[in-house]
A and B are shown apart, each in its own frame.
Chain A
Amino acid sequence: MMDDLSLVMPEVVLCGFGLLLLLIEAFLGEKSKSLLGILTLIAASSALFFVLRLSRLNGEAFFGLYSLDPLASLIKGLILVILVLITVASIRYVERENAIAGEYYPLLIFSTLGMMIMVSTTNLLTIFIGVELMSISVYVLCGMFRENVRSAEASLKYFLLGAFASAFLVYGISLLYGSTGSLDIRAYSEAISAGNYSSVLMLGVALITVGFAFKIALVPFHMWTPDVYEGAPTSVTAFMAAGVKTAAFVTFLRIFYTAFLPVIKDWGGVLWLIAVITMSYANLTALVQENIKRMLAYSSIAHAGYILVAFVTGERSLSSSIIYYLFAYAFMNIGAFTCVMLMERKGEENLDIDSYAGLSGKHPLLSLCLSIFLLSLTGVPPLAGFMAKFYVFSTAIKAGYVWLAIIGVLNSVVAAYYYLRVIMYMYFKEPVKEIGEIDLSSPYFLVVFICIFFLLYLGIFPRDLTLLAEGAVSVFF
């Protein structure tokens, strides 16, 4: 039992801090806002410390319902770094928007806890509880800020559709349990290899795919994304784009590559189609968006499509490209959304692309940073976004999915238009309207610089992360 506890130390620490933060706000009241932010940072970094200490371990705990492996450790590290970045960016943001900090930070922590749990288990029951813990915290976070109709709408919409998606997921899990008598995903590949191709099992696979496609926002399960990304507080949007998507994608990857690899050739057709529709639809729709948060929302859908390109192939040894993409994607998005947070002011002003016109004259540093993130999203070397796309598309080509790779590359050309359009507005257009004072305080820039550092580092020295990612995906063999 003691060993079990030592394996789940990161989760225990995070959970304990989350509960502590709830109490602190209750006793100290409104004064404690920045204290709560700092405590969240301490929580995240101590959990990160334990993750690093346990990172070389392989083990199971709690009767196989929790397992620790290189993949889980690597992704938990990324998720905690995301939590740190979002928290730092939130410190000023929460004050500016006058949010209820006492619940904001604990909910961030609990949501992170849910992500960590779902990526480090092979049991569908634990995965489901982790997914729910993550999702319910995020539903609340979406509706948290201000007396804002959009925020409330986002929260309700996300909640209703998310509940529906969870129902699909749990229905799929129950069918899988019914057809194999096990909740452990490793049992499924054995059952399939032994010849269990029953329709109940396949229906279970289909429903689980639907459930995760919703969380990852793949077309046609993406309808909630633009509205929710636009309505939610920008810090939460960044958290959703980076954290929720990473955790959901890794869990999806683990389930498919551990359990359903024998059927991925049959499923490839469906996933192929979803990847193509997702990339094309999202990129074409993003072209006409005038709101930058909506544009980034569609861009995040498109990026999920690019990741799916590598996913479809079912090549276990090449799936490290997915992990690399998720890292690059997280830093690009957090950076871009932090710049949006800097620009917008209380009451959701300055969110349309027009307000970025001529920004370089007044705020050269901010425009430079935002340009770097947008260029990385486009996929321009030497930034990490380029290497990520390169790995993903070369995976597709190596696995013989040449057409898919071509469609993907064409899509990134289309995407370049709407990313570069913002840069063009910032540098070559005269200011259209008065955008008012911008709060250029250091926490925001700290986040921005960390993201830029990682984008450059991962872009120029991709080998370090690639090796780690290759070690991580070795759990599938």
Chain B
Amino acid sequence: MAEIVFKWIVFFIASILSIFSSVMMVTRKNPVHSALWLVVTFISLAVLYFLLNATFIAISQVIVYAGAIMMLFLFVIMLIHLEKGPEEIGKMTVSRIFAVVLTVLLFVEILVGVYFYRAWTVKPEPMPFGDPKTVGKLLYTKYLFPFEIASVLLLVGIIGAVVLAKRRKM
């Protein structure tokens, strides 16, 4: 009983935090602040994944999205000096109207999806599904061959980065 109550509390905190931080993210004027609120969204989503027993996805969410992808976002923002933010606010350009329509459409789509798939009845997956142990086992048995090739692929990526960076100095 105590465990269920605890899970409910965690769920409410995480889901309210994720909604709050995503609202904060789209309303901030400073892109760097937006990006930082996005990190909070990602991490609270990761907590939700944990509650669904999708441990591996939760961990990748933190490492890949909150870690690597966010670094890229911040990097690009700093690189092209977006910190000041856009100047004209409140102007109705075509792209903005399009964006609003698209957002509303996507939101409606999510609501429809939630209704038709009865999202409130979703139960956590049974434990062995999607935990790091199962994924790791698959990687080192059935998918060993592509996994090894992927390591060569990563090596080539590193070599490529070094080569293209080294070229400038010559």
Chain A residues with CB under 8 Å of chain B are 8, 15, 18-19, 22, 61-63, 65-66, 100, 103, 106-107, 110, 113-114, 117, 123, 125-126, 129-130, 132-133, 136-137, 139-140, 143-144, 147, 155
The main secondary structure of chain A at its interface with chain B is helix
Query: Out of A66, A137, A147, which one reaches B156, CB within 8 Å?
Result: A137
What are 22 inter-chain pairs, A to B, with CB distance below 8 A? A18-B152, A19-B155, A63-B144, A65-B142, A65-B143, A65-B145, A65-B146, A103-B159, A107-B163, A110-B152, A110-B155, A114-B149, A125-B143, A125-B146, A126-B149, A129-B153, A130-B149, A136-B153, A136-B160, A137-B160, A140-B164, A143-B167
Q: Give the size category of B's interface with A.
A: 20 to 34
Chain B residues with CB under 8 Å of chain A are 141-146, 149-150, 152-153, 155-157, 159-160, 162-164, 166-167, 170
In whole angstroms, what is the CA distance A130 to B149 when docked?
8
A140 touching B156 by the CB < 8 A rule?
yes
Query: Out of B142, B146, B159, which one reaches A107, CB within 8 Å?
Result: B159
Q: Given A126-B146, A147-B167, does the pair A133, B159 have CB atoms closer than 8 Å?
A: no
B-chain residues with CB within 8 Å of residue A140 when the two chains form the complex: 156, 159-160, 163-164
Nearest CB of A to B140, in Å: 11
Q: Number of contacts between A and B (CB, 8 Å)?
A: 71
Query: Out of A62, A114, A133, A144, which one reaches B163, CB within 8 Å?
Result: A144
Greatest chain A CB density within 10 A among B141, B152, B156, B164 is at: B156
Query: Out of A63, A103, A117, A155, which one reaches B142, CB within 8 Å?
Result: A63
Nearest CB of A to B142, in Å: 5
B-chain residues with CB within 8 Å of residue A155 when the two chains form the complex: 164
Closest 10 CB pairs of A and B: A140-B160, A62-B145, A65-B145, A129-B146, A63-B142, A103-B163, A133-B153, A129-B149, A126-B146, A110-B156
| Closest chain B residue, CB of each to CB of A147 | B170
Nearest CB of B to A67, in Å: 11
A-chain residues with CB within 8 Å of residue B149 when the two chains form the complex: 114, 117, 126, 129-130, 133
B-chain residues with CB within 8 Å of residue A65 when the two chains form the complex: 142-146
In whole angstroms, what is the CA distance A63 to B147 when docked?
13
